[in-house]
C-alpha cells in the first residue's frame, strides 16, 4: 500500500512538473511569435497605410486582408486566423465570407495552435517589399496595356 502511495505521489509530482514545463514552453512560443511580429511591424504598417493586401501562401485560404497577415488556417473549421496589427490580437474569420467568429490574444493562439504555421507564414513576409513591388509593377503593366489598347 505504501509503495502504491509513493508511486501515486511521484506521478502527481511528475504531472505538476510537466504542466509547469508545458506552460513555460507556451510562454516561450508566445515570446518568439511576439518578437517576430514586432520585427515585421514596420512592414505591416506600411502595407496597411498603403491599402495593400496580405495574402496567404496556403492555396486553401480564399481571402486577402488589409489589416494584417494571415497566420493560420484551420481546415476542419474552415477558419482563418489573422493577426490584426491595430489591436495586437488574432481575429478568427470564416474563410468564405470574412465573418468574424471570435478574437484571441496572441497567448491564447500560441497555446491552442503553437507557432509553427504562423512562423512559416511570417518567414514569407520577410521579402514583402520585393514581392509588393513586383506585384504592383505587373498590375501597372496590365493596366497600361489595357489603356493603350482602348485609347482613342
pLDDT of residue 1: 63
Domain range annotation of the chain: 2-134
Enter the C-alpha cell of residue 44.
505591416
- Measured distance CA(113)–CA(100) in Å, rounded: 19
Name the CA radius of gyration of the chain, rounded. Answer: 22
- CA distances 57 to 14, 73, 110, 116, 142, Å, are 41, 11, 20, 14, 23
Q: Where does 85-146 show beta strands of DSSP type E?
A: 89-94, 100-104
Strand partners, 104: 90
pLDDT of residue 123: 83
Which residue ranges of the chain lie beneath pLDDT 50?
none
Classify residue 118 as exposed, middle or buried by CB count within 10 Å of its CB (0-12, 13-18, 19+): buried
SS3 54: strand
Q: b/e string for 45-78 if b means 16 or more Cβ within 10 A?
A: eebbeeeeebebeeeebebebebbbbbbbeeeee
Q: What is the pTM of this model?
A: 0.77
Amino acid at each position: 500500500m505504501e509503495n502504491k502511495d509513493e508511486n501515486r505521489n511521484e506521478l502527481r509530482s511528475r504531472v505538476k512538473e510537466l504542466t509547469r514545463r508545458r506552460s513555460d514552453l507556451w510562454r516561450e512560443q508566445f515570446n518568439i511569435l511576439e518578437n517576430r511580429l514586432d520585427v515585421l511591424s514596420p512592414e505591416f504598417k506600411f502595407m496597411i497605410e498603403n491599402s495593400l493586401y496580405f495574402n496567404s501562401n496556403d492555396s486553401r485560404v480564399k481571402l486577402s486582408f488589409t489589416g494584417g497577415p494571415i497566420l493560420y488556417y484551420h481546415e476542419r473549421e474552415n477558419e482563418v486566423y489573422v493577426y490584426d496589427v491595430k489591436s495586437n490580437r488574432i481575429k478568427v474569420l470564416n474563410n468564405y465570407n470574412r465573418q468574424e467568429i471570435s478574437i484571441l490574444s496572441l497567448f491564447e493562439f500560441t497555446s491552442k495552435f503553437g507557432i509553427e504555421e504562423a512562423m512559416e507564414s511570417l518567414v514569407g513576409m520577410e521579402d514583402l517589399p520585393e514581392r509588393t513591388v513586383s506585384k504592383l509593377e505587373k498590375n501597372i503593366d496590365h493596366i497600361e496595356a489595357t489603356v493603350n489598347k482602348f485609347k482613342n
